[in-house]
Amino acid sequence: MASPMMPPTPRPHRSIAGPVVLILMGVLFLCGTMGILEIHSLERLFARFWPALLILWGVIKLIEYEQAKRLGQPARGIGVGGVFLMLFLIVTGLIATQAARLNWKDIGEHIQIGDDEGLDEIFGGSTFNYSDELSQEIPAGGSLHVTDERGTITINVADTKTMKVSVRKKVRAEKEQDAENYNSKTKPQITVADKIVTLNANTQGAGDKGVTTDMDIYVPVNTSLTITSGRGDVTIAGMSSNVDITHHRGEVNINDHTGNVTLNLDGSSARLAHLKGDVTIQGKANEVAVEDVDGAVHLNGEFQESVRLVRVSKAVTFRSSRTEMEFSRLDGRLDLDSGDLRADSLTGPMRLTTHSKDITLEGLSGDLRLEDQNGTVSVGLHKPGNIQIDNRKGDVQVTIPPNTAVKVEARTREGEIESDFDEIKVDNRDRESSASGSLGANGPRLALNCEKGSIEIRKGTVAVVPPAPPAPPAAPGKPGKATKALPAPKAAPVESEN
């Protein structure tokens, strides 16, 4: 008798999880292409909520499993196509999430994307231009506070007591209608509180929509200025007031200015020329150039590229993680970068502590305390005071002009000493060398201490030093403070090998 035939195993129904996810994604992208949702909004939605698609997929598969179990049918697996779709979702979702967390605005600044056409090509959309005019009377003795997170600020002298502002705005958007909306929400705002007038470019009034506002501002010559600026240059010319600027990414230019200047920089450069007043620059700066200052200059922070000082009539102080320096005035020029410090025609007392720099000082007058390591030191004296130079792992060369009275004491370990003067007695030995002697009578001391380097004492010619600019008249009742001379240095003993 033939055995009964087993009924065929029913084939599992095809899963609808993949098609549902694809339909949902297609609807969202269709909304983006039809303008119902902005592309940028769609990108942000996907970057934030893409795991919801995996959850939806899992819920559908769970429902299908329970339904197949209830009907006694086998449940269908994910399949090769489903695996590829799931991997695609996970990879693109992770990339979108990480991209959304990046500060694209800051990245654009770092790679210096300057022209709007380049931005349009990279980020999409078009650039629309708008202009505006504002005015506001400045109270007598008042101050102006300006804030512009993206755009250039230009300050000029006005002929009247009324501030006038010329606004040039660039708005990046996909449609002109969107640009009009962003423009209306980012109108510059002026507020007055007592004697403080505040001008806000309001570039973030519509959110982060790629709005750039350039402002030309005309104010009375004696208006005090406080400026906070993001990406964009700041230019001030011909003013007679104190200026305080906080600046991020760009360049600050100040010319023909009377009054104190304070700059707080973050990745910015500064160019200042023809100033009457003190200058303070602090923070993280790129290139700094300061020229013709009738006042003191104070630099404190990190300077990534170079620092140039030309003709500073009063004290200069410099502080960074590698270098500390101060001196009384600069009649010539000083250039400082990561590996070199060069200066001429400067007046002490000067203190300089640094490392891994080659130092060249020419036409030095007054006292000097210098400490360096892993670099060479070359000093040309003009009218020396008490000098002490300590250098580790580098050579030292000092040039003394003729008819200069000075008492020399020099020591070096693992190096030799050379002298052009018969009055200086040199004793070179295998491990330690020394030299001593006097040129003239009753001269200041020249103490040179070197480790793992040679010392050269050279005879120079008559130095030609630019004449010092006339000192500014002292304010009534405020006589200038005399600079205290440094005590005479002593030659330090040579350190032991340990």
Ordered alpha helix ranges (H), 12-135: 17-33, 39-49, 51-70, 79-101, 104-110, 116-123
Least reliable range by pLDDT among 13-17, 274-278, 369-373? 13-17
Q: How many residues does the chain have?
A: 498
Beta bridge partners of 309: 290, 334
Q: Domain locations in the chain? A: 17-102, 322-464+485-498
State what percent of residues in the chain have pLDDT above 70.
79
pLDDT score at 35: 60
Q: What pLDDT, on a 0 to 100 scale, did the predictor assign at position 29?
A: 72
| pLDDT at 413 (0 to 100) | 92
Backbone angles phi, psi at 10, to 5 degrees: -65, 140
The helix or strand, by DSSP H or E, that contains position 182, with its residue range, turns out to be helix 176-185
Residue 34 DSSP one-character state: T
Residue 493 has pLDDT above 70, yes or no: no
d(CA 315, CA 118): 46
Which structure tokens are listed for 462? 């008559």
pLDDT at 468 exceeding the cut of 90? no
pLDDT at 278: 97
If one counts every other C-beta atom within 10 angstroms of the C-beta of residue 143, the result is 19
Mean pLDDT of the region 463-476 = 45
Asked if 179 and 152 touch (Cβ cutoff 8 Å), the reply is: no
Average pLDDT over residues 353-380: 95
Q: What pLDDT was estimated at residue 116? A: 47
What whole-number distance in Å separates Cα of residue 279 and Cα of residue 273? 11
> How confident is the model over 466-477, as a mean pLDDT?
43
> How sure is the predictor about 197, in pLDDT bands with cuts at 50, 70 and 90?
very high
Please give the structure tokens belonging to residue 278.
């003190």
- Answer whether residue 121 shows pLDDT above 60: no
What one-letter code names the amino acid at 337?
Answer: D
Confidence of residue 32 (pLDDT cuts 50, 70, 90): low
Please, which residues bridge with residue 352 across strands?
325, 370
Q: Please tell me the predicted confidence (pLDDT) of residue 221.
A: 94
pLDDT band at 1 (very low <50, low <70, confident <90, very high): very low
- At 26, the pLDDT band (50, 70, 90 cuts) reads confident
More confident residue, 437 or 81: 437
Supply the pLDDT for residue 370: 97
Residues in CB range of 485: below 8 A, 6 or more apart: 349, 367, 385, 386
404 three-class SS:
coil
What pLDDT, on a 0 to 100 scale, did the predictor assign at position 498? Answer: 38
Least confident residue range of 193-197, 375-379, 494-498: 494-498
Q: Which range is least confidently modeled, 34-43, 69-78, 124-133, 319-328?
A: 34-43
- Span 40-59, average pLDDT: 75
Dihedral of CA atoms 25, 28, 32, 38 in degrees, nearest 10, equals -120
Q: What is the mean pLDDT of residues 114-131?
A: 63
What span, in angstroms and rounded, lies between the C-alpha atoms of 448 and 381?
A: 14
pTM of the predicted structure, to 2 decimals: 0.71
Tens-place pLDDT, residues 143-173:
999 999 999 999 999 988 899 999 999 998 8
Tell me what the pLDDT averaged over the chain comes to: 83
Task: Kindly report which listed range (76-80, 121-125, 247-251, 407-411) carries the lowest average pLDDT score.
Answer: 121-125
Cα–Cα distance for residue pair 415/413, rounded to 1 Å: 5
Whole-number Å distance between alpha carbons of 366 and 246: 36
Place of tokens 């292409």: 33
What pLDDT shows up at residue 90?
A: 82
The pLDDT of 261-275, averaged and rounded, is 96
Tokens of 451: 């480790």
**Predicted local confidence at residue 101, as pLDDT:** 67
Would strands 189-193 and 196-200 be described as parallel, antiparallel, or unpaired?
antiparallel
473 pLDDT higher than 60: no
Is pLDDT above 50 for 480?
no
Is residue 479's pLDDT more than 80? no
